[in-house]
Structure 1
């Protein structure tokens, strides 16, 4: 019995759409220490790589993202996990004491790479609204449109104001809190009477973040210089 032509064409169409629309994320650890990337998917989207993995210095990992995927990817640092159970903790970006975050987000402060694919464009950004722990950059490839690179120029931990610093038990600065997380005031969190773009403006603290990562979100209403679009691209997410 011949295979029905209309079913063949339907499957061919579906296969073609999946191949065209899916994006490839390549996570690259350019730091000189191990990084444990965490991945949190948006509601209704599949969890990629069970939500977490380990990248040794210089190592890369390719991840296939399905069409329409949305979510965030962030670096965790200073982690120690039991090899048999996957339980442990991270100095920054911890997602509940487990290697595979499995849908959980990271504890701030943590640098975020955020994506919404095929909507109908790909929207992407680097956000430091929840603070900074490791430099994160996004490099699109193979797409059409603006497709701008988003790069952090330097390690913000080296210039983080003392009142925002997060230190390890050994005294090293390992992360930089946002002013919102540090002080919980409406003018820094863009809440209350500061809950709109007209009243919530850049602060001395957000400008420090912006200087380190000029194309990253430095406060909630930093849209004009911090949201980027591309069509049918793949993305390199680089740490350091």
Structure 2
């Protein structure tokens, strides 16, 4: 009996490892939508892992991209851009050089959606490098109840004057205290480089009071970093954190909160599919002998 129990535990262990590997290799769909009253040019770092090209999203427009795990990168919005027919130009906020397709991060101040995809996906919205647009991350078809992240309020309207970035007298972005003053205390560097020594400032508290589900300073992990198992993502500019979002996937309209049969590993179908693959593996046979 002990042998059979031991063998069963080994089988379950390998099944768990296989499930993690399958999840980490899944493709995620990213729907990027613009609900602002101005045109937004999405920026994506490590975009070579994305299937799709970057272009302008006019108010009300959206685009769907795909990325395969493992992948780590950022998505943000650029505003006030002017690109020529060759994709060369510049932006008022969030620019990444002179190219339409970004190969590096956006220039602060910029609101950023950050992702690390794997067996378990990590995501957050960061205002550590300032704010230029409201941005929210929502999930679709997730395995479990996954939280929304982001900032759906416009911090430009109440930006402290010393942090404000203006164009023609209008506030177009709001700097972070770190980028503006470049001190160790505001930037969580040196003696302030740990979670214990780097504390919220009056500036980051102001950001946090308006946007509680976004990073307000570098060590703001506890209330800002979210996790989810293999969801599809919706990245929305200028939309509510709590509103229902929908996206077309495989010619079907799906919305957050809807059930998806592929979202669960519970049931015998998982064993039927995975177990023959494992049994045929030379490494597995060597493991149980």
User: Would you say same fold, with TM above 0.5?
Assistant: yes
Deviations 1:141-194 (A, max 9, x none): 1112341011423100001000000011x1110100000000001110001110
Report the equivalent of 2:270: none
Instruction: Calculate the TM-score normalised by the size of structure 2.
Output: 0.72
The equivalent of 1:6 in structure 2 is: none
What is the match of residue 263 of structure 2?
Answer: none
> Equivalent residue for 1:100?
101
| Secondary structure of 1:187's aligned partner | helix
User: Which of 158, 179, 182 is the equivalent residue of 1:181?
Assistant: 179
DSSP 3-state at the match of 2:41: coil
How far, CA to CA, are the matches of 1:50 and 1:89 in structure 2?
21
What displacement does 1:49 show?
5.6
Whether the aligned pair in 2 keeps the contact of 1:27 and 1:60 (CA below 8 Å) is yes
In 2, the alpha carbon distance for the partners of 1:195 and 1:48 equals 33
- The count of aligned residue pairs is 219
Q: Which residue of 2 aligns with 1:87?
A: 88
* 2:224 counterpart of 1:226: yes
Alpha-carbon displacement from aligned partner over 1:23-78 (angstroms, at most 9, x marks no partner): 1000000001100010002xxx8343677421111000000111211100010001
Q: Name which of 61, 64, 77 aligns with 2:63.
A: 61
Cα distance in 2 between the residues matched to 1:177 and 1:51: 29
5+ residue gaps, structure 2, are 1-17, 239-289
Pairing 1:73–2:78 present: no
Q: Does the aligned pair in 2 maintain the 1:39–1:51 contact within 8 Å?
A: no
Quote the residue 1:33 is aligned against: 38
Residue deviations 1:83-139, cap 9 Å, x none? Answer: 2x21111000111012111x2211011000000111x20000000001100000001
CA change 1:238–1:128 in 2 (3 A) is same
Please name the residue that 1:109 is paired with: 109
Q: State the Cα RMSD in Å.
A: 2.0
CA distance in 2, matches of 1:193, 1:133: 30
Task: Please identify which structure carries the higher helix content.
Answer: 2
Alpha-carbon spacing, 1:49–1:228, altered in 2? closer, same or farther (3 Å): same
Question: Which stretches of structure 1, 4 residues or longer, exceed 3 Å deviation after superposition?
Answer: 17-20, 49-52
Q: What is the distance in 1 between the residues matched to 2:62 and 2:216?
A: 27
Secondary structure of the 1:75 match is strand
* TM-score when normalising by structure 1: 0.86
Does the CA contact (< 8 Å) of 2:45 and 2:74 recur in 1?
yes
Cα distance between partner residues in 2 of 1:212 and 1:104:
29
Query: Which region of structure 1 is more displaced relative to structure 2, 62-71 or 175-184?
Result: 62-71
Structure 1 counterpart of 2:206, from 185, 205, 208: 208
- SS of 2:74's equivalent? strand
